[in-house]
Amino acid sequence: MFEDHRSPLAPRALFYRRLGAAAAFAAALVAASLAAGMRGYRHFERLTWLDAFLNAAMLLGGMGPVEIPVTRGGKLFAGLYALYAGLILLVSVGIMLTPVFHRLMHRFHLEEQDEADTGDRPRKHSKPGIG
């Protein structure tokens, strides 16, 4: 998917395409997780769709639930969903930052490679007879 360390830096247009693809994938992951959370709150706690959306969105955003679960199944679901939502928050941010991190690391590697290349070459002096 990405170029290796020996390849030149990808053009900016390709980088933006990769960034868009990563953001779209992360958004789809969050949307699917939101839908699953809403279904769970509807099923276990019998919340309205709007309240189920609010609770699931607050958990996915890292804030916490609004409605306190009252049923056993709802409490179990809310706890497991909270753990899942915390991981999804971290994973989605990681997915979105992957192209940026890769580009930075690739650029640093190319700069190191350029410095190593210029350090290995013999220097030419302007005065005849030297070097």
Q: Would you state the pLDDT for residue 131?
A: 44
CA max distance for the chain: 91
Q: Would you state the pLDDT for residue 128?
A: 52
Write down the mean pLDDT value for the chain.
85
The domains of the chain are located at: 25-115
Average pLDDT over residues 98-108: 85
Tell me the whole-structure pTM to 2 decimals.
Answer: 0.75
Question: For 25-73, what is each residue's pLDDT tens digit?
Answer: 999 999 999 999 999 999 999 999 999 999 999 999 988 889 899 999 9
User: What Å distances lie between residue 15 and 23, 67, 101, 111, 112, CA to CA?
Assistant: 12, 42, 11, 18, 21
Question: What dotted CATH number matches 25-115?
Answer: 1.10.287.70
64: left (phi over 0), alpha (psi -120 to 50) or beta: left
Q: How many C-beta neighbours within 10 Å does residue 101 have? A: 10
Share of residues in the chain with pLDDT > 70 (%): 78
